[in-house]
Structures are given as C-alpha cells and as structure tokens.
Structure 1
C-alpha cells in the first residue's frame, strides 16, 4: 500500500475528529441495528453513493503501467453492534487508465468489487478495513486490433468515513486490486493487471 494512500486516510481521519466533536443529530436505526449505543450516531442500514479517484498499476509480462481517473457507483448495507460496524459493499467503476508499451496499448475500461467491511465507529467517524472479490477488464490494442479479457481476482483496503449532514456521509478509501492472468494472442503472453486506487466518495444512508 502506498505512503500516499496511508497519508490520505490519516489526513481525513484527523479532519473527521473535528467533525466528531461537533454535535451530530442522533439517528435511531432500530430496524437495522444489532445493538446501537444510546445517544450515538448510527451507521446501520442500507446506503447508495458515488466515488471518484485515481488508479495506477502494472500489467505483468509487459512494461505497461496503466493509470488514470476512475469513478462510479457504490452501494452496501451496514449492521452495528456497539462501536463495531460490519457489512457488505459493492461497486462498479469506469476508468480512463491506460498506458503504451512498445507498439501495444493496455487499458482498464472498468472494474468492480464485492467486499465485506468491518470497522470501529467513534460516533460519526468510522475507520474500517475491507476485502473481497474483484472483477474487471484488461484490453490490449495493436495497430487498430483489440483484444479484451475479463478477469476475477481479489481486493483489500482501508478507509475512513464521516457523517457530515443528516443522512449524508463522505469517505476516502484505498483499495489494492489484483486480477487473474489471461492469454493475449495479440501479445503472445499471459498478462494480469494489478493496481491501487485512492478515491473519495459520498453516501446517502436510508
């Protein structure tokens, strides 16, 4: 995991502490909560949101290092027991990550994840870890010819999320994504894409 990712998460967590000090409205989420502390901010229940970030990675058996903007939609469901928050989250991202190596161009048009999350809530501040399944596309291009392969793999990361206004939260997150190898006849090699991504996002909690 990059030093930049750790620094970004730490920065938001520090800023979140200030937000934590301000009075946040108490929200009862009884239908969704396992055991919510009294007079505390609730993270329980379903949510939908959007993310925007930056991706950088590498393609095995080549010198290509695709990078670019990535953004998309996310959704999930949290349960809460005391200060422990756990749940499931999925997302789908479109990206502009690409790079040229010799006469070849490699790009990652899209990727998605399906993950578990577990974290610790300091009232309206949530620090969490996440891991699960990843899937996405790696495309090779040569002289106008294209070959695209869809792969599955794994992902893991960390993040910080802050309740900012009523049902709205903001977050910053780092994910590492590793997709499995596929054979590319255009290049004559077996290649796989792995990358890191740092992204910010907003969620609406129902």
Structure 2
C-alpha cells in the first residue's frame, strides 16, 4: 500500500511539472524610459554684459566763420557694461522676443567744444539704455537673431539696430555676443557771439559686447 501511495504522488508531481513546462513563459516587463526633454528658448531671462563702445560720427568738428574748422579733443571709445532682461517665445525654429537693458558707457567724449564763435554741446552720455524687439532662428541650443528698437540716454531719445549669436550651455544658462549701432538725438550747437543756432549733432556710436543670461522656465 505504501508503495502504491508513493508511486501515485510521484506520478502527480511529474504530471504537474510537465504541464508547467508547456505553459508560455512570462518575461519581466521592460523598464519604462522617460522621454528626453526637448530644449526650448521660451521663457524669461535676466543677465549681465560687458564690452566696448566707440563713436562713429565726426561731430566734434564745428565750422567757425572766422577761424574755419575747429575740432575739440575726444576719446574714440571705452568700456561699456550693464544688465539686461527679456522674454523669448519659440515657434518651431523661429524665436521672437523683447529685451530691455541699461548700460554704463565710458566713451570719454567731451561735452563742450569751443571755437571763436561756436559753443558745441554734443552730449556723449556716460550711460544709455535700449528697449528692443528680437527675432531669429534657433538651431537647437544656438540662436542667431536680429534686434532693433528704441534707445535713450540722458534726456535724449533715438533708435538702435543690431544682431547677435546666443548659445545655451545648459537648460538655464546661455552666453551671447552682440553688436549694436545706436543713434541718439544730439543737443544744439550755438554761436555765443553771433547768436544763431548751428543745428544739432547726433550722438552716434557702436557697441560690441558679450553677455551671460540666466533663463527661467527651461527644461
């Protein structure tokens, strides 16, 4: 009887093992991989910049009716630096935005030029600012753009135009190099002896600067 019972248990065990071997195997589920984040230029940013600015007009030379031309001393240019803030919006590869900046500008020109008649007051401000639109094309983390808008300095207004290249090293940190041409309305030049106005001479200068931006809302 004992042999019969042991034989029956062995037979049942072999049968269960054979049935289990015939069942389809169930592999472990594949791990779920998160999709890689897509870089975007959309978002607000703030930053700082530094560079060089130089005068592009020859308005230091005034015509004196007695002596002829007389030119005052001036320095061609110097350090420019400041801060900026703005916003970008990216649509496919096209990026539009707006930026405002305020700059210290040590261009070193004298405000007054004296001859035997003319007193020329051509402001060369030690600061200026701009409010500009930006538009360009993004190549992944590189952005090429044009920019232009309103410029101001002291009590004078004007306009500016330029362009630049910006590259994002991380999702939030980017660096740029940018060039601007700025044209600010100048002040009157008066003849203090003859009593007439010799007209205005605009303050025109160029700026090349490098900047660093911290961008909010990136991936």
TM-score (norm 2): 0.65
Match of 2:178 among 166, 173, 188: 173
- Residue in 2 aligned with 1:56? 54
**Does structure 1 residue 159 correspond to structure 2 residue 159?**
no
Counting strand residues as a fraction of each chain, which structure ranks higher? 1
Give the drift of 1:135: 0.6
Indicate conservation of the 8 Å contact 1:60/1:191, yes or no. no
Matches of 1:196 and 1:44, distance apart in 2: 29
Match of 1:202 among 175, 189, 212: 212
Indicate conservation of the 8 Å contact 1:66/1:106, yes or no. no
Report the CA distance shift for 1:186/1:42 in structure 2 as closer, same or farther (over 3 A): farther
**Does structure 1 residue 183 correspond to structure 2 residue 188?**
yes
Matches of 2:191 and 2:106, distance apart in 1: 21
Report the CA distance shift for 1:94/1:185 in structure 2 as closer, same or farther (over 3 A): farther
RMSD: 2.4
Matches of 1:186 and 1:118, distance apart in 2: 45
Indicate conservation of the 8 Å contact 2:53/2:208, yes or no. yes
SS in 2 for 1:90: strand
Give the drift of 1:181: 2.6
SS in 2 for 1:176: strand
Q: Deviations over 1:33-58 (max 9, x none)?
A: xxxxx953210010000010100114
Report the CA distance shift for 1:186/1:135 in structure 2 as closer, same or farther (over 3 A): farther
- Residue in 1 aligned with 2:138? 121
Matches of 2:96 and 2:191, distance apart in 1: 44
Report the CA distance shift for 1:160/1:42 in structure 2 as closer, same or farther (over 3 A): same
**Does structure 1 residue 88 correspond to structure 2 residue 98?**
yes
Q: Determine which structure has more spread, i.e. the larger CA radius of gyration.
A: 2
Task: Identify the range of structure 1 (177-186 vs 109-118) with the bigger mean alpha-carbon deviation.
Answer: 177-186
Report the CA distance shift for 1:92/1:39 in structure 2 as closer, same or farther (over 3 A): same
Indicate conservation of the 8 Å contact 1:60/1:193, yes or no. no
Indicate conservation of the 8 Å contact 1:60/1:192, yes or no. no
Give the drift of 1:99: 3.0
Match of 1:43 among 36, 41, 44: 41
- Residue in 1 aligned with 2:6? none
Report the CA distance shift for 1:183/1:125 in structure 2 as closer, same or farther (over 3 A): same
Moved over 6 A (4+): none
